[in-house]
Structure 1
């Protein structure tokens, strides 16, 4: 999504870091070595959204869909808790 948004906006970009997962990319961001397109749920604590400051195009939102068929109450409770946590990170309009 980020690459498409940059290309559509005519913003030149160069990939200079490829991490082995969100934790690695998060470490680079926290150290001030990178800018990345991450969801609020996975962005490291203390990071800030610099998109507007840098003139970056907004990214489209994406839906999260969870399909389950748990039978036990503990699993149902865990999934309700996870769903509530995901809903809590939605941007307010």
Structure 2
């Protein structure tokens, strides 16, 4: 249990940060799910549009410290490859 004023404040800040980061992660996952659904539907235009919308969200996750840079780079790369495959097919 937090005893000092500083530790109480840090606990409050930590709770607030947790809520903000949770919302950010949820928002990013929603965008990723939309890309997945567009790929599954086989519509190349929808998949491309969904990917374009998801990329800034993923990048924002990196700048805000919610996701690791390499994780996002890998996700973007793999999604882009799958969208390209849908467009080709």
TM-score class, shorter? 0.3 to 0.5
Higher helix share: 2
- The alignment's TM-score, normalised by the length of structure 1, stands at 0.32
